Every structure is written in structure tokens, then in C-alpha cells.
Amino acid sequence: MANLTIVGTTPRKVDGVAKVTGSAKYAADFNLPGLLYGKIKRSSHAHARIVSIDTTAAEALPGVKAVLTFRDVPAIPHAGAPAPREGGLVADQLILTGQPLFVGDGIAAVAAITEEIADEALGLINVEYEPLPTVFDPVLAMQPDAPRLHQTEQNLVMPPVHIQHGNIEQGFAEADYIIEGVYSTGRPHPAYMEPNACTCHFDGDGKLTIYSSTQCAFMVRGILSQVLDIPLHKVRVIVEHMGGGFGAKQDLYQHEFVCALLARRAGRPVKMEYTRYESFVGSKSRHPVTVNLKQGVKKDGTLTARQVKYVSNTGAYASHGPGITWVGCEDLSSLYRCGNNYWADGYSVYTNNPIAGAFRGFGGVQAFFALDTQMDEIAHRLGMDPVDFRLKNAVGEGDASPSGHLLNGDALAACLRRGAEEVDWYGRHNHPQPAEPHRKRGWGVGTEMHSSGAFPAIREQSNAVIKMNEDGTVTLLVGIADLGTGAQTAMAQIAAEVLGLPFDRIRVISGDTDVTPFDIGAYGSRTTFVGGGAVFKAAQELKRQLLELAAAKLGASAAALSIRAGRVFVDADPRQGMALAELVKGEGGQSPRTLIASATHEAEVAYSFAAHFAEVEVDTETGQIEVKQVVAVHEVGRAINPKGVEGQIEGGIQQGIGHTLTEDLVVDPRTGRALNASFVDYKMPLAMDMPRIKTIILEVSPDIGGPFGAKGVGEDPIMAIGPAIANAVHDAIGVRFTELPITPEKVLRALRQKEKMTGSK
């Protein structure tokens, strides 16, 4: 590890030039001959039955080439993803529906020669609805008299999650204090720059090619094959570049199915690109969750028991609701020991809201906001320093993780100690305060732990193929898509390091199901950990082949040879060797040697940790909260690409600040209509709103399952920043917030209430 030359550095991104010059092609950039434009007609009711639908006028409109309704498409329920992802999902969605369950549900579609004509045609489709009863609150949805949205008891997606360890009654009996609280989170949206988009066409042999903005190309291929009854070898999915996904582009949406069916009906290529409004209401948000949390603690700060009720609002369809509920309940058992006395009940509930789904942090954002906010509250009640209280109970070496695996090292404690040192935590109240008396500053800490991959819920596997070219360069084929995270660059670094090649001699091909080996997808902080593991193994096998070939030519055993800087040489006499290009080229008129290696990597799980320290300033006259600075300490095992890791952390912090302070897709509780589904009204922090961020990367606990010890980092930063900000606000103004987002209105309301209770400002 001490001799690494490429891993641990930050070379130029392999797709950087294409992106900055504008030559990179995204799903909506493919303009095929004869291209049509597809649009979906969406329900104006949150719950209704379609009595009649008349498409006559739309079909007669010049320029319209195909019209579909829910009656014209396969009525096959699907979960949005095929095996092996479908195990934790529920097949409750249709391509188009005659009984919409939320405002925005797809009921019909058109394809026309221009987008304008397609939009006009949608308006000409006449629909008669029979409105049905609605329910938007998950607690009300579980009541016996609530309208049933699916054929399930209490509108529960699946039977309740129940996790139990130890003896919860005994744990609370041993406590000197019992603290309870209710914590709730909003409905923030991924708001990726690239809207949901795809382009579909069929060739003369009936083969479907789809250019899609998806994190899981092989999942798109699989579910299209299942639902549309097309053999896998006649479905090709291509993902050249993506403009973000954050988990929400894991599954298929209506547009991919509809686009393919419109292309089949019209006999011409069809492109569908969501408007920004459609990306808000027709894709997926984070699950609004309410957590009832109860903990027992001794006077010395030892936690003795933890009891949880986790209620998740999954919206009209299940999507990842069951999985998120399960993960949230599991995460609340982690991070801090509680005497192994734990009890959790989790409910994933159908409502008539837009669909909630997978989103960066996958249940952990909601869980850790509740847990780490209450940890801060308990510390203050005990008169303990919040960091010291966390250190006393932090999980570490030998403790069981949510997956059942034992943790390696004391990474959480290392993050807390390093961050506390960096910000002068114990002297923080001696830091200067603003001159204006209405501005108050405070510090807070938030923590998290997250798995790399979804094992054991999903059997984690990736594959890689690597080929030596006749000039000594290498082509690497992987199925993992690059969401903009730099995944291709990291894969190239791993291969180059193993092979002893310069970085620029590796060419990565990804995201084409006809060319690359199967991969389940880019999600769950698994890309580097699992996908990189496959690349590591494939490169090792190719290296073995190269050394065996060189051994015959150099008259030395393979064990006595090394490769560095694209040259193979004898260890005992480095002058004796040759360039790889010379090694593999043909001699005497013979063809060059073709060396190809492949590998399958199955991984279980590794856990990365983080502690965020945030300083905020609260204006008590306006209620405005400004995050002044963040120190983020992340233990990642091994940073394959340090700048890439920093970019993930800074991006997660930006999203987390938004989710904590401003972002919430607001749905009218009477009609189910989204009220701020645009970038005008949905408020995200921009560059000018960002605080100073210092990222500290720790490599104290490398994982033997990851390439060079690497673990995932993609989801971690969005989980730790929320409680850090909320706890800093309490430190500044003495008010504890348990509901996200913490808006200026909520701050002013809480300050007025505090003033009434205490008689002072």
C-alpha cells in the first residue's frame, strides 16, 4: 500500500473533456432520423376512476403519429425493477392506469412530430373522472375507515417491520432517565440537473434500443423485457452520460415503458423528456417520515434501551418504501450502543401523495436526524458535553452492525475526536460572537454510519472484463453507470494501479448492456466497493497472464517479475525487461497476442463513518439560519480518488443543508397537488449559499473486501449534516427543532413561544 502511485491521487477525469466541451451526449441528445416526441397525459385527480377517455380529436390532429391510453398497454403490474432487485419491492404499478392514485399519475400518451403538437394533443384527450375518497396523512391512512388504495390491510405496503434485540423492558428499568421525542422530516426532491429522459427505437429485427438516463441499465433492460415480453437479447440500454440521479433513477418510470410502446406503435424513434414539473411530480422524492424515539440512559451517560416507531409515507405506490422502512429501523439500532436492548416497529404506508422512492441516504437521513438530535438533547439533560456523550456510547471494534457483521476498528470515535480537535470544540463558546445582538452563533455535531452496498437484502455482485490491446493499452468494460460521480475515473485508477500502467493507457467503457458485463447498478454506495472489487480482480488476472507471457520471453519465473510504468522487468535486474506493447505484439508475421480477463466480485458489507461539525448563525429578527462553516470528517477505508471523495462530501453537504433548512416538495393536503414543483418555488442552496467546508479524510479502518481497502462514501455526507445543523441552532438560540425543514417561520414561532414561557428574549 505504501508504494501506490495512482490510487490516492486525482488524475484528470476520463470524461472531463467531453463534459466541459459539450460533446458528451445525454439521453435527450440522441436525435435519430424520423424522431417523434412523446408526452404523457397525467391525472388531475389524486384518486379517481376513469369513466371514459376519448382520443378521437388527438388522433386527428395533424402531426400526431401515435396515441395510447391505459387500455392500449400491457396491464402487467410491476415494481419498477426486475430480479434480483425485486425481492424487497411490490408489483403495484402499471404502465398507464385507469384508476390514478395521485395527481400526476399517467393515464394516456401521444407521439407527434414536435413537442408542441404533442402537448396540444394531450389537451384534446377528453377524460371523464369519477372522483374517489383520498387520504394524504399516513397515520389517517392506517385507520380502519380510511379509503383503501391497494388491496392491503391498513394501507400498509407490507406487514410492519419488527426488529427486537435483548430485553427492552429490562433496559428501561435499568435507566435513571427516559427521554422521548417525535421527529419528522419533509419531502425533499433529488432535483437532479438532467430531467428524466429516454429515446427509444426498434430496428427491422424488432430489437429495442433505449438511450436512458438511468443508474441501472441492466435493471431497465430486465424490466422492459419482462413487462413488454421482449427477449433480453433484443433489448439494448445505453447510458453514455448522466446529469445526476441520487438514487431516484434506479427504477423505471412510466416514460421508459411508454416511450418504447409509442415507438413500436408509430414505427419511428420516440424521445421523451420530462419537464421540470414532471420531474418533480412524476419521479420520486424522499419519504416523509415520523420517528417516535424513546431511550433510557443512566446518570453516567450509559444508554440502556432504545424503542422506535418509524412511519414512512410512501405515496401512491410502494417503490422502495418497504426497504427504506427496514433500513431506517436498522439504522436506529446502530451508531450508539444501547445495552443491546432495542425494539423497532416500522410502517410503510400508502397515501395519495406523489411517489416517494430511493434517494441518497435511503432511510438513514430520517433515522439519524432523529437519533442524533435526541442524543444531543440527552447530553444537555445530563450536563455532559455532546461529543463526550457520543464517545461514551459510540459503536466500535467488535460491535455488531445492522447487517450482523462485526465492526472493524473505532472509526466513529476517530471521526469525533479529529473533528473536535479541528474546530476547538471544547473551547467553542469562547469563540467571538457577532456584534449585532440579534445574531446568535452556535456549534453542533452530527454523525452517521453507512454500509457499502445493500447486503444482505441484496446479493451484491459486479463483473468486469479487461482486455490488453496490441499497443500495450487496456480497454476496461464495466456495467456500472457513472452518475457524474467520477466512477469511470476510479475504475481506471484501480486497473492502472494493479497493472502497473500509466493512467492514460486505460480506456473505460460502461453503460451499454450489449457490450459490458452484467451489473446490478450504481446505488447504495456500492460502486467503488463492489464494482471496483470486480475491476481489481480482473486486472489481477490480466496481470497474471502478462507475467506468465513475459516469463517465457525473459527467462525468469513470473514471481520474479514486476510491471511498472507500462514495462515488465526482472526484479533482480530491472535493466532486463521490455515494454508491454513489445510483449504482446506478434513476432515473425504472427498476430498479436490477445489477452482478456474477466472477474466476478461478490461482496458482503463494509461500514464507513462520519462526524460533521457545523457552525450556524441565527438572525432572531428574521428567523434566517446561515451555515457559516462545516468541518466534515469521513472515515472511508481508502480514498481511491481524494478529490472525488471531497466532491461527494461537499455535494452531500449542499443537499443536506437544503433538506435541513429550505427544501420540501409541498403537497396540498386537500387536493394532493404539488404547490412548488419548479425551480422558482422549490428552494435549494446555490453556490452563494454554501459555507466554508473543510473535509478531512481518515483511512484508519480499510476494509479487506474493497479494492485497496476502499469503502463507499456517496451517501454518508447527506446524513450527518442535518442533525449537526439542528443541534447548532439549539446551541445558538436554545430552541430544539425536531421537524425538517427548519424554516424562518418555524424559528420565529419557536422564539415567540420561548419568550412566552421564560419571559425573556
Four-CA torsion 648, 654, 656, 659, nearest 10 degrees: -140
The predicted model scores a pTM of 0.95
Which residues of the chain fall below pLDDT 70?
1-2, 83-87, 587-591, 760-761
Whether residue 580 lies inside any domain: the answer is: yes
Q: Are 61 and 430 in contact (CB under 8 A)?
A: no
What is the pLDDT, as a whole number, of residue 588? 58
Give per-residue pLDDT as tens, 457-468: 788 899 999 999
Residue 533 to residues 166, 301, 344, 420, 698: CA-CA distances in angstroms? Answer: 36, 41, 34, 34, 21
Last residue of a domain, one of 232, 257, 281: 281
Domain count, the chain: 2
What is the pLDDT, as a whole number, of residue 87? 60
Whether residue 572 lies inside any domain: the answer is: yes
Tell me the residue type at 189: H
Give per-residue pLDDT as tens, 300-321: 999 999 999 999 999 999 999 9
CB-based contacts of 87: which residues, under 8 Å, 6+ apart?
457, 458
What is the pLDDT, as a whole number, of residue 83? 63
Q: What is the CATH number of the domain that holds 554?
A: 3.30.365.10
Tell me the residue type at 339: G
Domain that holds residue 115: 31-132+193-244+249-281
Whether residue 691 lies inside any domain: the answer is: no
Last residue of a domain, one of 553, 571, 603: 603
Burial class (CB in 10 A: 0-12, 13-18, 19+), 74: middle
Tell me the residue type at 628: K
Whether residue 333 lies inside any domain: the answer is: no
What is the pLDDT, as a whole number, of residue 593? 76
Last residue of a domain, one of 587, 603, 619: 603
Q: What is the CATH number of the domain that holds 76?
A: 3.90.1170.50
C-alpha–C-alpha distance, residues 71 and 54, integer Å? 12
C-alpha–C-alpha distance, residues 518 and 600, integer Å? 10
DSSP 217-241: HHHHHHHHHHHHT--GGGEEEE---
Three-class secondary structure of residue 542 per DSSP: helix
Whose CA is closest to 443, among 610, 612, 616, 627?
A: 616
3-state secondary structure string, 716-733?
HHHHHHHHHHHHHHHHHH
Whose CA is closest to 135, among 116, 120, 113, 150?
A: 150
Q: Are 672 and 134 in contact (CB under 8 A)?
A: yes
* Strand extents, DSSP E, 324-421: 342-350
Q: Are 748 and 761 in contact (CB under 8 A)?
A: no
Phi, psi for residue 273 in degrees, rounded to 5:
-135, 120
Alpha-carbon 127 to chain mean position? 37
